[in-house]
């Protein structure tokens, strides 16, 4: 469907920067080395032949038992050319960190905060990386596969009339 995206990635980046790429049921995807995450995303946005100017989604997948443990997943779309791509980058459990895309797409802000809050993946360069769904005192990251389902969290007593 949008093989031009994969062709442009192969032309622009060397082996090791793009780890693998493919198409499944007409959906193109590419696995990117984490060190080149932002560079690849910016190239796809700015290159006239791809023009992937619309940020659709960013999330995280916990692949417990695999190395690297987490995949950060980004979906991009071209409004003009009507094609899309999925980018994936693996981040390790020991230091789950990858570059932020907020300067490229301001809409990535809350998506990155959600991935941080629920999975513990940090986004280097994010302007305001803090919890977005869980309260600040919450311990752990609830969408990790090893998060205890019967875990207990601190009970917080709020004063009547408090706003926070």
What architecture does CATH give domain 3-124? Answer: 2-Layer Sandwich (3.30)
The residue ranges of every structural domain in the chain are 3-124
In angstroms, how far is CA 79 from the centroid of its own chain?
Answer: 21
Q: Is residue 23 within 8 Å of 29, Cβ to Cβ? A: yes
- For residues 116 and 102, give the distance between their C-alpha atoms in angstroms, rounded to a whole number: 14
What's residue 149's pLDDT?
83
Q: Which of 64, 41, 42, 45 is nearest to 54 (CA)?
A: 45
> pTM (2 decimals)?
0.90
What's residue 105's pLDDT?
98
- For residues 38 and 10, give the distance between their C-alpha atoms in angstroms, rounded to a whole number: 16
What's residue 164's pLDDT?
56
Burial class (CB in 10 A: 0-12, 13-18, 19+), 104: middle
Specify the 3-state DSSP secondary structure of 39.
Answer: helix
- For residues 161 and 11, give the distance between their C-alpha atoms in angstroms, rounded to a whole number: 60
Rounded average pLDDT per 10-residue block, the chain, 164 residues: 91 96 94 98 98 98 97 98 97 97 98 98 97 90 91 69 60
- For residues 20 and 38, give the distance between their C-alpha atoms in angstroms, rounded to a whole number: 17
- For residues 17 and 32, give the distance between their C-alpha atoms in angstroms, rounded to a whole number: 6
- Determine the number of helices (DSSP H) and then strands (DSSP E) in the chain: 3, 7
């Amino acid at each position: 469907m949008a093989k031009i995206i994969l062709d442009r990635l192969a032309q622009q980046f060397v082996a090791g920067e793009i780890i693998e790429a493919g198409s499944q049921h007409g959906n193109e995807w590419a696995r990117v080395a984490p060190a080149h995450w932002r560079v690849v995303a910016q190239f796809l946005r700015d290159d006239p032949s791809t023009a992937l100017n619309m940020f659709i989604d960013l999330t995280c997948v916990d692949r417990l038992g695999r190395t690297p443990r987490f995949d950060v997943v980004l979906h991009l779309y071209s409004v003009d050319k009507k094609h899309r791509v999925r980018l994936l980058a693996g981040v390790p459990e020991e230091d789950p960190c990858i570059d932020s895309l907020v300067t490229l797409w301001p809409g990535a802000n809350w998506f990155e905060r959600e991935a941080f809050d629920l999975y513990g993946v940090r986004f280097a360069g994010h302007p305001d990386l803090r919890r977005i769904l869980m309260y600040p005192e919450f311990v752990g990251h609830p969408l990790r596969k090893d998060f205890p389902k019967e875990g207990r969290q601190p009970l917080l007593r709020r004063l009547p009339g408090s706003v926070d």
